[in-house]
Structure 1
Amino acid sequence: MIRHFRSTATDAHARGLEFGAAHADRIRTNIGIYQEMFERQAGGSFDMESAGSAALAATQAFAPALYEEMQGMAEGTGVDPALIGMLNARTEILAFLKAGTRGECSSVIHAPVDGRAPTAVQTWDWYYALKDSWLVWEIPLADGSVTKTMTEYGIVGKTGLNTRGLGVLFTILHHADDGKRIGVPVHVVARQVLDSAATITRAAQLAAGADVSASSSINLVSLEHDVAAAMTVELHPGGPGFVLPQANGFLVHTNHFLAPGLDASDTEPKSFPDTLLRHDLLTRRMAALAEVNARTVLAAMASHSGKGAAVCCHHDPAEAPPMQYETLSTVVLDLEAGSLDVHAGGPCSHPAVRREADRPAAAKYG
């Protein structure tokens, strides 16, 4: 069962304190899992505190309120604040350690031009050992708006939306210049965008201004005055790049760079070419849809082609436990309703897809 938590405090430090106290055991569990992961990648002990402190300093400069929230979270959990900084910088630390981690996540946005609301869906693929590491967090803000995010315990944000009509989907990227230091955590960027931006233009400006040390795509979608819009900000050291939807309104992103001129610095396709195959599959399936809505997009994403490297992937028990990989959740953003629909598992087990599969004339995807 998915854990949902709604904060009551609007002050950043108090909100973090409340969250940390409510989830102390789960946050400590995540600290332990990531410590083991980092030490395995480092081939021995790893100074998590120094990396976490660097992440806190970068966060304080970029998003002071989130720095205060992380300080409160550490106090509520009863741990050194550097360990909360470490959790939020897990992507940056893995890049620093030159970990050979494969890409994670596939996202699809459709921004129609006829006044209809956009469709936004993504898978979150990560290590199976972290299948119980996450929750849905609702965060009331002082201005009366609400940020809703699916995130890991101890990490301030990831995929989500706000009640101002803005959403964020999130996929990892890998650039040749990643990992030379610890910069602003990409998870902090995602949350800051949701907390601070009311328009897609402002969201892109905020994301583009982050001094990052690891790469990710911040896939933005908005509904403003009955106009749907989408844009990807491809964060990387020295970046960013920008990507707009195709002429048919679709913006599909997996784990390689799409912005012009970044091919030579993109390390993902050579290491994990499944990102190219997933992108091609989803692009063609989206173009073939007769009707575009969350149900049809989910059904098209329920592909197991590639097995562990599929859009909808399932862990292989034959693999060593630290390497088992799975689609841990599937996220649908409804900007019109301001709702965040999170399903524990891949698209193939989503209730909307299972209902569709029961229909006699339903299309079957492999």
Structure 2
Amino acid sequence: MSKVFRSSVCEPHARGREFGGVHARQIQTTVENYRALFDRVATRPFDLKALGAEALCSIADFAAPLHEEILGIAEGAGIEPEYIGAINARTEILAYLGAQLRGECSTLVQANPFGAPVTAQTWDWYAEFADTWLTWEIPHADGRLTTTVTEYGIVGKPGVNNRGLATHFNILHHQHDGQRIGVPVHVLARWLLDSCSDINQAIQLCHRAPVSASSVLTLVAAVDGASAAVSVELHPGGPALVFPDDNGLLVHTNHFLAEAVRPFDTEPAAYPDTLVRYDLLRRRLTGRTGLKAMDLLCALNSHLGSTGALCCHPAADLPEAGQYATLATILLDVPGCTLRALPGGPCRHL
């Protein structure tokens, strides 16, 4: 299991300051790793501090409590707040820099109209980030609880709250990404869990979010013995919605599924592994009902495609830095308001 940290204070700035103070070293490593990544992939000159400041302005306008939390993280860690803003906007900055990077993650959900959902995803990212993430439990003063798997210094990623709502998270790429620094998708994922009580509120929030880089949040809800799911394909001018098939199965990798957005999708031509992963998962699971968590882990356990596989590992004959790996396998228990974050790919847990 991953490291778990539970905040002991609820006021946003104080919560951030506590988190930053406890994890100052790890947050500094996250900042350094992203600074190196931005330098490596940038196709244009950039001022990281200025981009981070732009991100902070977008966050303050959209989710003021998370802006305060980020300022607290910076204070606690002894890092200028613009750099904490920058790592929270890492997807937006990568798009702004014109970086053509392979997509991250594969997500599976089966929603049951008369029962609980079952969900799982892989998180694929650069191997040098393998030790820079944790599970963060975030209590609120009114009894709300958000639990998220995230990187040190970033406020959220996949997660679940205690009101029957959860989200998975995959990156997408759109022709109009990167024109500015809008609301960071990582901030949206966290704010959705903090502020929404049901799936309809979450979809509405996604529609209101002025994003500048694309990602898909696969929302999962479970209330009163029923469950539902929808993939919200965020993009500039979006979002688009994708629902499960007749057996409740929803599969998403790193290309757009909504017909209206496909002409603007830059991923398939650059990194067709997203299509291969999607096809393999769909063929493994289509038509099956009553899936369990172990079924999803087995479906995700494939090394077909080598470094572009569902369960991917760095090529042994190349330096690990700069190569993708499956850093975590994440299962969300929406009715139980909990999650499991398993280090590495599914092949390690079967």
Structure 1 residue 2, shift from structure 2 partner: 2.2
Structure 1 residue 288, shift from structure 2 partner: 5.2
Tell me which amino acid in the other structure corresponds to 1:60: A
Structure 1 residue 18, shift from structure 2 partner: 0.3
- The answer as to 2:65 corresponding to 1:54 is no
Asked if the contact 1:6–1:139 (Cα under 8 Å) also holds between the matched residues in 2, the reply is yes
More off after superposition, 248-257 vs 316-325: 316-325
In structure 1, the partner of 2:26 is 26
Query: Aligned partners of 1:43, 1:58: CA distance in 2, in Å?
Result: 23
Query: Cα 1:79–1:105, aligned 2, differ >3 Å: closer, same or farther?
Result: same
CA deviations over 1:197-244 (Å, ceiling 9, x no partner): 110000111122110110000100010121100011110011111111
- The answer as to 2:237 corresponding to 1:238 is yes
Query: Aligned partners of 1:45, 1:180: CA distance in 2, in Å?
Result: 14
Query: Aligned partners of 1:105, 1:227: CA distance in 2, in Å?
Result: 26
In structure 1, the partner of 2:77 is 77
Tell me which amino acid in the other structure corresponds to 1:3: K
Structure 1 residue 291, shift from structure 2 partner: 4.2
In structure 1, the partner of 2:91 is 91
Indicate the percent of aligned positions where both proteins have the same amino acid.
51
In structure 2, the partner of 1:64 is 64
In structure 1, the partner of 2:148 is 149
In structure 1, the partner of 2:210 is 211
Query: Aligned partners of 1:339, 1:40: CA distance in 2, in Å?
Result: 37
TM-score by length of 1: 0.93
CA deviations over 1:109-128 (Å, ceiling 9, x no partner): 10012x22000100000000
Tell me which amino acid in the other structure corresponds to 2:4: H
More off after superposition, 290-299 vs 42-51: 42-51
Structure 1 residue 322, shift from structure 2 partner: 3.3
The 4+ residue runs of structure 1 with deviation greater than 3 A are 43-46, 288-291
Query: Cα 1:105–1:165, aligned 2, differ >3 Å: closer, same or farther?
Result: same
In structure 1, the partner of 2:104 is 104
Matches within 5 A, 1:245-256: 245-256=244-255
Structure 1 residue 43, shift from structure 2 partner: 6.4
Query: Cα 1:46–1:319, aligned 2, differ >3 Å: closer, same or farther?
Result: farther
More off after superposition, 321-330 vs 148-157: 321-330
Structure 1 residue 290, shift from structure 2 partner: 6.0
- The answer as to 2:189 corresponding to 1:173 is no
CA deviations over 1:52-98 (Å, ceiling 9, x no partner): 00110000011000000001010001111100000101111111111
Asked if the contact 1:208–1:233 (Cα under 8 Å) also holds between the matched residues in 2, the reply is no
Query: Aligned partners of 2:59, 2:82: CA distance in 1, in Å?
Result: 12
Asked if the contact 1:166–1:222 (Cα under 8 Å) also holds between the matched residues in 2, the reply is yes
Query: Aligned partners of 1:290, 1:246: CA distance in 2, in Å?
Result: 11
Asked if the contact 2:312–2:325 (Cα under 8 Å) also holds between the matched residues in 1, the reply is yes
In structure 1, the partner of 2:300 is 301
- The answer as to 2:295 corresponding to 1:330 is no
SS in 2 for 1:192: helix
Asked if the contact 1:148–1:161 (Cα under 8 Å) also holds between the matched residues in 2, the reply is yes
Query: Aligned partners of 2:161, 2:320: CA distance in 1, in Å?
Result: 36
- 5+ long unaligned stretches in structure 2: none
SS in 2 for 1:229: strand
Query: Aligned partners of 1:299, 1:288: CA distance in 2, in Å?
Result: 16
SS in 1 for 2:146: strand
With CA pairs under 8 Å and 6+ residues apart, which has the higher RCO, 1 or 2? 2
Query: Cα 1:290–1:226, aligned 2, differ >3 Å: closer, same or farther?
Result: closer
Asked if the contact 2:20–2:73 (Cα under 8 Å) also holds between the matched residues in 1, the reply is yes
- 5+ long unaligned stretches in structure 1: 354-366
Structure 1 residue 278, shift from structure 2 partner: 0.7
Asked if the contact 1:39–1:45 (Cα under 8 Å) also holds between the matched residues in 2, the reply is no
Query: Aligned partners of 1:43, 1:256: CA distance in 2, in Å?
Result: 23
Asked if the contact 2:44–2:97 (Cα under 8 Å) also holds between the matched residues in 1, the reply is no
Asked if the contact 1:52–1:89 (Cα under 8 Å) also holds between the matched residues in 2, the reply is yes
Tell me which amino acid in the other structure corresponds to 2:328: S
Asked if the contact 1:91–1:214 (Cα under 8 Å) also holds between the matched residues in 2, the reply is yes
- The answer as to 2:317 corresponding to 1:318 is yes
Structure 1 residue 45, shift from structure 2 partner: 6.7
Could you say what the CA RMSD is over the residues aligned between the two structures, in angstroms?
1.3
Asked if the contact 1:38–1:46 (Cα under 8 Å) also holds between the matched residues in 2, the reply is no
Structure 1 residue 317, shift from structure 2 partner: 3.0
In structure 2, the partner of 1:42 is 42
Asked if the contact 2:172–2:216 (Cα under 8 Å) also holds between the matched residues in 1, the reply is yes
Query: Cα 1:138–1:129, aligned 2, differ >3 Å: closer, same or farther?
Result: same
Tell me which amino acid in the other structure corresponds to 1:54: E
In structure 1, the partner of 2:280 is 281
TM-score by length of 2: 0.98
More off after superposition, 42-51 vs 213-222: 42-51
In structure 2, the partner of 1:131 is 130
Tell me which amino acid in the other structure corresponds to 2:125: W
Query: Aligned partners of 1:141, 1:322: CA distance in 2, in Å?
Result: 38
